[in-house]
């Protein structure tokens, strides 16, 4: 996916999720990027038909833009990188987490994707 908006649009069409990863140039971000690209369980989760993900990197977008986007969608400050955000098909926050010190992605991502939207009124 190229943008948060595109991921949310696809999530809405398929009643799925938009996963946004905010990565910096630090060692933890590099480790997380490798984990997301190499861990078989993470790859299986990211390849689900109802998951659309986008990776935003500080080196390309700059810290200010990442902070603005995280605040807009997560409704909280981006205090450190890396971070992750799970949105529904309406762009509403389901989960947000700063990843420094978090467990392996194959643990928290599986839990996150078990998240379901509340039934429509």
More confident residue, 117 or 32: 32
- Rounded to whole angstroms, how far apart are CA atoms 99 and 74? 14
Asked whether residue 119 carries a pLDDT value surpassing 50, the answer given is no
- Rounded to whole angstroms, how far apart are CA atoms 81 and 84? 9
Looking at the structure of the chain, the number of domains it has is: 1
What is the pLDDT averaged over residues 41-56? 92
- Residue 11 counted as domain residue: yes
Residue with tokens 């140039």: 25
The residue range of the domain holding 104 is: 4-112
CATH number, domain of 60, equals 3.40.30.10
- Rounded to whole angstroms, how far apart are CA atoms 10 and 117? 15
Gap between the terminal Cα atoms of the chain: 30
Give the containing element (helix H, strand E) for 57.
strand 51-57
What is the pLDDT averaged over residues 15-43? 91
pLDDT given at position 100: 87
Residue with tokens 């839990």: 111
- % of the chain residues with pLDDT over 70: 90
- Residue 121 counted as domain residue: no
């Amino acid at each position: 996916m190229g943008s948060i908006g595109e991921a949310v649009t696809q999530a809405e069409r398929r009643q799925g999720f938009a996963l946004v990863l905010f990565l910096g140039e630090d060692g933890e971000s590099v480790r997380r990027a490798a984990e997301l690209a190499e861990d078989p369980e993470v790859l299986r989760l990211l390849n689900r038909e109802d998951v659309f993900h986008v990776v935003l990197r500080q080196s390309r977008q700059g810290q200010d833009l990442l902070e603005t986007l995280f605040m807009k969608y997560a409704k909280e400050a981006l205090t450190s990188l890396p971070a992750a955000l799970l949105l529904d098909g309406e762009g509403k926050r389901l989960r947000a987490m700063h990843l420094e010190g978090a467990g392996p992605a194959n643990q928290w991502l599986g839990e996150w994707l078990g998240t379901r939207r509340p039934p429509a009124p």
